Structure 1
Amino acid sequence: MQHTPIRSFLCALALAIGILPAAQAASPGATPVQPATMRLDYQHSGNALGEHYAVERVLVEPLPWPGNMARTIDDSNRGNNMVEVVDIKTGKLLYSRGFSTVFGEWSSTDEAKTTTRAFQESVRFPQPQQPVRVRILKRDERGLFSVVWSTDVDPAAQDVIRKQPPAPVKPIPIRISGPSSEKVDLLVLGDGYTAAEMGKFEATVRRMVDHLFSVSPFRERAKDFNVWAMAVPTQESGVSRPSTGVYHASPLGTRYDIFGSERYVLAVDNRALRDLAQYAPYEFIEILVNNDTYGGGGIFGQFSTAAANNDWANYLFVHEFGHHFAGLADEYYTSPVAYQSSGERREPWEPNVTALHDPANVKWKKHVKDGTPMPTPWPKEEYEADSRAYQQERAELRKENRPESEMSALFHRDLKQSEALFSKAPHQHQVGAFEGANYEASGYYRPEMQCIMFDRSDQFCSVCQDAISTIIDLYSRPAAP
């Protein structure tokens, strides 16, 4: 609300929650009318050797475009993929955004070597006034984007879906700082909450969001965000956890055990996700699952998830949002993952890990003090020895299906042990290149010894903070002085 006329703010809020027709937003003193929001839903199929795309449908969402029309072109160089919307007649680039996909992660698993699967995906963009070509780009072996698929979209075509059913639930405004076109809009969705638990859901969202904005740089940039919440009630509490024989129907199909990893949680019904989310202004989505078991996940530009009732819920919410919001890589490397290493050490696009091919020009060079050794020494062998014992105990606890309190206690002991070890290291609070990151013990490096993306610390390193700020700038409009 700061630096924003009250009338504009109220108009934007009323429009967003569906009580004001879009045309009225053009009244004197109101926020300028935004274009409509178009969405292209498509199928992304294939395996480890190849991939294919096919159009499912094109539709106009119920709410106006929530984004900053002054920043329609993405220059952040994030993501495994990029969507571009190009004017067919002139060739002018109208819109672009980097993103990653669930298919992209799955294609690096063992299953993808023998099985072909299809995944639902969507791209959203401001409705154009003329026919456009929507292009999906993918990084090649050089790390550069090249077109892998394109399809033409005519906003006036008869098969464009223009009428949506009524919203199943209305969005709850959690934190509103101004018009959506000037702010980053975060939508927190709930999955696995019954009708009797809607109060619990809202209280959890408020607690999680308060924590998010206590962590830098979100703390300093809190006024650049709007936050909304929505949840469609379920018949049973919680979401599915197949490894323990628990199956629950839920609107978004969110579940544990993705790619065989017991802690990996993703929503598997993209169409249901987008059909619900379209009734709130959003650019980013975090899904809270009504479960106690530790788990979460995050896909850049898609969504993130977190187990809301776990002792580590605050950490999970922020860590997974780091993946989704800023494309941050995992910096840990001792936990088992489903992905298979190719053995190559290409320079990652993620801003917080590097293959360190050129130590003198590391991508976060501006943060490195003169004289810092590159690579930077740290107690790696001692850490790995401790971690082997920790991972063995963790696996036994899950195998025996022990109470979650025992797993939480193990996490606390592990963090305390790591902090004690790192406190004696001479480069503990310096930016350098610490070997061990991106799920690999060697060949990849992280900027600092500790970070939310490495362990269960409570702060992002300075490089991750920079990377987050870049994305905030892409979506928000600076407040008037």
Structure 2
Amino acid sequence: MSTLSRLLSALSLLTAACQAWAAPQPATVRLDYMHSGNALSEQYAVERVLIEPLPWPGDMARVFDDTNRGNNRVEVADAKTGELLYSRGFSTVFAEWKSTEEANRVSRGFHESVRFPQFDRPVRVRILRRDERNLFSVAWSVDVDAAAPDVVRTQPPAPAKPIPIRVNGPSPQKVDLLVLGDGYTQADIQKFEADVRRLAGHLFTVSPFKERADDFNVWALAVPTGESGITRPSTGVHHASALGTRYDIFGSERYVLTLDNRALRDIAQYAPYEFIEILVNNDTYGGGGIFGQFSTAAASNDWANYLFVHEFGHHFAGLADEYYTSPVAYQSSGARMEPWEPNVTALRDPAKVKWKRHVHEGTPLPTPWPKQEYEAYSRDYQKRRAALRAQNRPEAEMNALFRDDLAHVNALFAKARYRQAIGAFEGANYEASGYYRPAMQCIMFDRSERFCPVCRDGITDIIDLYAGPARNTR
């Protein structure tokens, strides 16, 4: 199919999808604001309110979020009566940066956005923050009148056209995933589409996405860049791009994010979306994911399938990292509060572990596993990994190391008594002690291929929130 034919097909499907729900659907309001501060304080300030080009993609029958996920929560209420109209949990790049050492020395500002359906009255938007009691309290509120004269109502032409990857129905009844590309030149656009089809296709081979594939629409959109690949400062590579995605975020060589939220939202608004994954046109291992914001993955790496799914688990369902031997920018506070993430626990009361329904009678909590052997091996493995990066060795050598690592861990765990059990295995959330994961292995722990049952539940909860429960579901 020619490029023109693909674009015409994309426009036709996009128009049809929009027309199917344009009449009853409200407009999409976006509140852009600055979130600034340091480890001890934070402030908010309005930048602008705008009406996005496309109608609200969500189901107006499912406007309240009861999943209790995220470091933050947005609530939209009637400005006069206080009646709650809409809510969603989310996390932020600011919250991650706040946990780094730099936040103890300087203040920084981060651009953020919240999107919500337009209501027929002025509203009060509240940003809530999870406190030390694991409860939400109001951090900031602002009144928004979408009919006000200073609201931005017109947008420039789309910088690129969305490509339909899979369209299973009108957006309000589906989860809309938008895959953005960064570091793809005009000559790379066909590669971008192929990358999206390959990686999104893989996502729907992994449970529970596999069983719920018909509940998703997938769109792709890339603004061409002048050079292939994205910025990687640690190696002196700097490439301009519309999204500004780069490696080395917060000093972690494998952490890939964009810190330009305004650019991200200004591009994404031209396709229906509730979730975003950014594919970067690089073969260097890397990715990242922020719950309710976006995730990233290096599309040309040998481990791209794993990166795409693992990072999407963070963004889509708020799943925590279960590994703890790899270096991260995060600074431990020493405290062990019960995490909000569904797949890790501080195990303060084993009798009430949050995934109790999956724990078979007789499984000890905490659950024994070959922790000492694993950690002894991991110390040597991490030294070899760091040496490869320090010497800027070919990526093929890093990929080979990862294959050897997974094979070693599989062999070690194969002999463990509770290999297939759901329990409470100490070591998770970047900490060797005090946090526990539900399974010995899971795609959130290592480069294995499956989510454990607890993570599958966490994902299913979010699919249900946006697309409604599946028939014959759990």
Q: 1:324, CA displacement in angstroms?
A: 0.1
Looking at structure 2, the residues matched to 82 and 390 of structure 1 have their Cα atoms a distance apart, in angstroms, of 39
Q: 1:448 aligns with which of 439, 458, 471?
A: 439
Q: Does 1:383 align with 2:374?
A: yes
* Partner residue, 1:264: 255
RMSD in angstroms over aligned alpha carbons?
1.5
CA contact (8 A) 2:178 2:220 kept: yes
Q: 1:61, CA displacement in angstroms?
A: 0.2
Q: Structure 1: which 5+ residue stretches go unaligned?
A: 1-12
* Partner residue, 1:10: none
1:16/1:148 CA distance change after superposition, 3 Å = farther
Q: Which amino acid aligns with 1:137?
A: L
Q: 1:324 aligns with which of 315, 325, 331?
A: 315
Q: Deviations over 1:50-97 (max 9, x none)?
A: 000000000000000000111100000000000000001221100000
Looking at structure 1, the residues matched to 116 and 30 of structure 2 have their Cα atoms a distance apart, in angstroms, of 7
* Partner residue, 2:217: 226
* Partner residue, 1:3: none
CA contact (8 A) 2:212 2:470 kept: no
Q: Which amino acid aligns with 1:389?
A: D
Q: Which amino acid aligns with 1:445?
A: Y
Q: 2:62 aligns with which of 66, 71, 84?
A: 71
Q: 2:406 aligns with which of 396, 399, 415?
A: 415
Q: Does 1:198 align with 2:195?
A: no
SS in 2 for 1:471: helix
* Correspondences of 1:30-179 after superposition (within 5 Å): 33-179=24-170
Q: Which amino acid aligns with 1:245?
A: G
Looking at structure 2, the residues matched to 169 and 343 of structure 1 have their Cα atoms a distance apart, in angstroms, of 47
Q: 1:128, CA displacement in angstroms?
A: 1.0
Looking at structure 2, the residues matched to 301 and 285 of structure 1 have their Cα atoms a distance apart, in angstroms, of 9
Looking at structure 2, the residues matched to 68 and 434 of structure 1 have their Cα atoms a distance apart, in angstroms, of 38
Looking at structure 2, the residues matched to 43 and 36 of structure 1 have their Cα atoms a distance apart, in angstroms, of 23
Q: Deviations over 1:94-116 (max 9, x none)?
A: 00000000000000100000011
Looking at structure 1, the residues matched to 159 and 335 of structure 2 have their Cα atoms a distance apart, in angstroms, of 47
Q: 1:193, CA displacement in angstroms?
A: 0.2
Q: Deviations over 1:157-202 (max 9, x none)?
A: 0000011111111110001110000000000000000000000000
* Partner residue, 1:402: 393
Q: Structure 2: which 5+ residue stretches go unaligned?
A: 1-9
Looking at structure 2, the residues matched to 126 and 190 of structure 1 have their Cα atoms a distance apart, in angstroms, of 26
Q: 1:138, CA displacement in angstroms?
A: 0.3
Looking at structure 1, the residues matched to 69 and 42 of structure 2 have their Cα atoms a distance apart, in angstroms, of 21
SS in 2 for 1:447: strand
Q: Which amino acid aligns with 1:305?
A: T
Looking at structure 2, the residues matched to 258 and 159 of structure 1 have their Cα atoms a distance apart, in angstroms, of 35
* Partner residue, 2:3: none
* Partner residue, 2:427: 436
Q: 1:17, CA displacement in angstroms?
A: 3.0
* Correspondences of 1:342-381 after superposition (within 5 Å): 342-381=333-372
Identity %: 75
Looking at structure 2, the residues matched to 113 and 169 of structure 1 have their Cα atoms a distance apart, in angstroms, of 40
Q: Does 1:290 align with 2:277?
A: no
Looking at structure 2, the residues matched to 80 and 230 of structure 1 have their Cα atoms a distance apart, in angstroms, of 29
SS in 1 for 2:439: coil
**Structure 1 length-normalised TM:** 0.94
Looking at structure 2, the residues matched to 120 and 15 of structure 1 have their Cα atoms a distance apart, in angstroms, of 33
Q: Which amino acid aligns with 2:14?
A: I
Q: 1:425, CA displacement in angstroms?
A: 0.2
Q: Which amino acid aligns with 1:185?
A: D
CA contact (8 A) 1:16 1:280 kept: no
* Partner residue, 1:7: none
Looking at structure 2, the residues matched to 479 and 218 of structure 1 have their Cα atoms a distance apart, in angstroms, of 12
Q: Which amino acid aligns with 1:149?
A: W
Q: Does 1:17 align with 2:31?
A: no
Q: Which amino acid aligns with 1:53?
A: Y
Q: Does 1:251 align with 2:248?
A: no
**Structure 2 length-normalised TM:** 0.96
Looking at structure 2, the residues matched to 208 and 262 of structure 1 have their Cα atoms a distance apart, in angstroms, of 23
Looking at structure 2, the residues matched to 15 and 63 of structure 1 have their Cα atoms a distance apart, in angstroms, of 15
Deviation larger for 470-479 or 267-276: 470-479
* Partner residue, 1:238: 229
